[in-house]
Amino acid sequence: MTPEQKKAAEEKILETLMQVGLRIAKRGEGALFVVGEVEYKPLVDQQVPPFKVSNNPKLLESLAIMDGAVIIDHEGVMQAYGVMIKSRRVFKNFGTRHSAAISASKKGNTVVIISEEDKKVRILKEGKMIMQLDALQKNVEKSVPFAANLLESLGAGTIGVLGTSILAPAAGIAGIALVPGVLVFGSAYYLFKSFGKWMKNGK
């Protein structure tokens, strides 16, 4: 697989998870997706064989609303569902899903967490929240291809300047809304510089 093909494949995975996540959030339900490798313990019998998540988003959605997380490899293949992730620690004022999400987002993994409380879809990397989608924003689904492409274009090397702690009080979180319903967290200067390059390249 060429670097371009790999980037396109990872972008497709992100886009699928965002779209599925928004549907789950709109119904007021929660879920957790982990793209990468993480320690976990199955909570249910694994009767559904591995499948490419972008080829069957409806099946992915039905597995995601079970208790526990869905584990997906970097090729976009569902590896496990209804699993408990081994959290390094429990965070005060946050439930087990958020604690698991923060722990799972380390070591190069991408985590998508859907909150039933505020109907937000959050993307985490290296323990930081780097993007948030608001399921209540009208036509937010139209922003998903842009959001997935931007995340892939920024790449893992920028996480040092991107992101904010998911533990920060909601009122203290500042993000940049580049498109309706999508907040990107991090250095304003860096984000606008990256956004400018992104637009110039016609991505």
What would the mean pLDDT of 34-43 be, rounded to a whole number? 94
66: CATH? 3.40.1700.10
Confidence grade of residue 78 (pLDDT, cut at 50, 70, 90): very high
Domain count, the chain: 1
Taking the CA atoms of residue 83, residue 182, residue 193 and residue 190 in that order, the dihedral angle to the nearest 10 degrees is -50
Residue 6 or residue 117, greater confidence: 117
Which of 48-62, 144-158, 164-178 has the weakest average pLDDT? 164-178
DSSP state, residue 140: G
Domain range for 84 is: 3-200
Residue 22 near residue 135, CB atoms below 8 Å: yes
Provide mean pLDDT across the span 132-144: 92
The model's pLDDT over 79-95, given as tens digits with 9 standing for 90+, comes to 999 999 987 666 666 67
* Residue 30 confidence (pLDDT) above 70: yes
pLDDT tens-place string over residues 93-131: 667 787 888 889 888 899 999 988 889 999 988 888 888
